[in-house]
Structure 1
């Protein structure tokens, strides 16, 4: 009987020791990999900004490609550039969770279902000898299962779409997840955001196929009505009066 108890005790002790050792190894690995994971996340974000802007990464040289882009901070309350925060370290997501750094949206305003909006947003400029060639704007909003985070790029007229892409979401693969499909993303360049000078977005997804001549409509996602509606709503929000429309208006007038 004693040997049996000793055997059980030893088994339990060995199991506990193995659990502790495994926990230590997993924790150490997580700590060691955290820096690499954060670096990968930053690089992926840069890749998506470049993709939306239509800038090619040559020979895998991400930093050289991204050096052609200038990040700037925009005060969403005034629609003007700001230096109140450090543009390189400013985090819109964290700011949106801080009541002192965000503003609550009313139900009527919050068509993108984000609830709160950071007071500042980071935009990315591609500049040339003639001035701004393209501008990349961060966008996000709720789809069917998740918040979609991405970028939309506009040409120098601040009205023609140069590209659109999402870098984070949890929509259904094969349905709402088709927002990652290159063929669908290729439908966006050349579309117009505003139909007149009111800066009220006319762009959006429709059910089925959009006519080739329709400059304001994009094909909806088959079998993913709620995700399609979410994309329309978030684009309209961020390019509307509570988003970047005041900034784009001032930028075009040379007042930003």
Structure 2
């Protein structure tokens, strides 16, 4: 199934890049003050059509959220961000992704993160390892001089204070799900997030991280993030390799 999901992401990527190169984004602002472009909507349509062709599982996307009363008993469903990093897309820095995850019993069991600009794809399924393109990725770093990561557009004072507290001086900034994918590759050691994300922002990269010897810890529960909550906002979290505890 994962090969079919990658093909769906590739098709959505082609449509996103057409709009990216055309520059006619048609930006509107949603109720939560986040931007949406016609690329988000075009990708959303293609992904929903594609997923409906390969399974009967229900679909939640950033552009088509579902009320908790409808989804609360769903055991298995798709969770999609058709264009993660809309601000990165609008700024034309290339650091936006397509995120497609399959959730089972509140945890991701399959994830695809596709980067349209580079045609790189990260993917994983539970128990099957994590990959970038056709190469296995695994974070076995034991670096003592830690490399942190932060968002291009969503950095906070708490994040800066965290890095100072833990003497982390090298901080690599990336957009969208790329940060967690870089963690899975072993190129960074830790990514703290102290402001708002939604479940569809993280789910696909979460299983990739887990299969690459990494974890994403909810700072409220001190456990891995879970999905299909009543409120689809994630609590603040720290993504890090398994052999590192800084929370």
Per the normalisation by structure 2, the TM-score is: 0.33
Greater gyration radius = 1
Greater helix percent: which structure? Answer: 1
Greater strand percent: which structure? Answer: 2
